[in-house]
């Protein structure tokens, strides 16, 4: 499927019409077992197909976690390819959570896979790691601009280990995370209402008013649900940037499977709670 508008414009439209929510597709062993499935390729396929069929025609964003497909080898990747294509065909935007990041020709190869319209895993947006230097992401940035895709750059992640890198101070006294956000603001400077280059910022981090989160781009916010954050926390964490937040829920929705009704009802409740919280 080709796209006609930049990712940021399509994301704003999807969140306004379907609700501001991203649901992760994380087929790890414990969830497969909770659904009564074996931790094998057949279980992966059933879990993925059910989730896509239940949610792709009603939620704004689906976010498959690539690692849980990669662990099954080439047939797992084939399942992921099918899920991405079918979810997009049903109207959901697909953010592939792969956290790719490298230099030179290697980064260019990642861009060809995920961000060019003829790539085998072309998706609406990709999570990327900037910790080989933000400039190393240039092939991904350029590919996204051409194809109308987007990027979510790791900036302030919710894992405790992230602090030692993300909050380290540079020679000019600013933190590494602040520098990443500044780069994103620059990329989005000429965008309309919402740019296509966003950040990953954990919803569990508390008050982040010391950081400039208003980068005119989306903020993918994992941590809602099983990790302890709630929709009511979003205004405290994100402040004036809260309207651009894409709250991400995985287990909080997926644990209500394997029935499609449970998945749909849970996703709808989260979307309603986010709408109420962010106004």
Catalytic residues: 99
3-state SS, one letter per residue, for the chain: CCCCCCHHHHHHHHHHHHCCCEEEECCCHHHHHHCCCCCCHHHHHHHHHHHHHHHCCCCCEEEEECHHHHCCHHHHHHHHHHHHHHHHHCCCEEEEEEEECCCHHHHHHHHHHHCCCCCCCCCCEEEECCCCCHHHHHHHHHHHHHHCCEEEEEEECCCHHHHHHHCCECCCCCEHHHHHHHHHHHHCCCCCCCCCEEEEECCCCCCCCCCCCCCCCCEEEEEECCCCECHHHHHHHHHHHHHHEEEEECHHHHCCCCCHHHHHHHHHHHHHHHHHHHC
Comparing CA positions, the residue from 51, 27, 49, 53 lying closest to residue 40 is 27
Q: Six-digit token pair at 189?
A: 């400077």
Cis peptide before 163 (omega within 30 of 0): no
Tell me how far apart the alpha carbons of residues 81 and 23 are, in angstroms, rounded to a whole number. 17
Q: What angle do CA 247, 119, 74 make, to 5 degrees?
A: 85
């Amino acid at each position: 499927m080709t796209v006609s508008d930049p990712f940021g414009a399509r994301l704003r439209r999807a969140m306004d019409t379907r609700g501001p929510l991203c649901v992760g597709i994380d087929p790890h062993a414990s969830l497969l077992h909770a659904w009564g499935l074996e931790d094998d390729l057949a279980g992966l396929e059933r879990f993925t197909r059910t989730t896509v069929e239940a949610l792709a025609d009603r939620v704004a964003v689906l976010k498959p976690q690539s690692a849980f497909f990669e662990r099954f080898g080439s047939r797992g990747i084939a399942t992921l390819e099918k899920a991405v294509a079918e979810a997009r065909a049903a109207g959901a935007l697909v953010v592939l959570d792969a956290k790719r990041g490298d230099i030179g020709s290697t980064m260019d190869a990642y861009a060809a896979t995920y961000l060019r319209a003829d790539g085998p895993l072309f998706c609406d947006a990709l999570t990327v790691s900037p910790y080989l230097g933000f400039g190393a992401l240039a092939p991904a940035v350029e590919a996204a601009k051409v194809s109308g895709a987007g990027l979510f750059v790791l900036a302030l992640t919710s894992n405790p280990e992230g602090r030692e890198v993300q909050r380290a101070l540079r020679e000019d006294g600013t933190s590494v995370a602040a520098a990443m956000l500044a780069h994103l603001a620059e990329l989005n400077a000429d965008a309309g209402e919402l740019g296509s280059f966003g950040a990953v910022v954990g919803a569990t981090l508390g008050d982040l008013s010391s950081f400039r989160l208003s980068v005119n781009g989306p903020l993918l916010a994992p941590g809602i649900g099983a990790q302890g954050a709630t929709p009511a926390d979003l205004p405290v964490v994100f402040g004036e940037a809260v309207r651009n937040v894409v709250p991400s829920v995985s287990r909080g929705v997926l644990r209500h499977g394997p029935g499609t009704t449970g998945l749909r009802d849970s996703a709808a409740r989260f979307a309603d709670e986010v709408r109420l919280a962010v106004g």
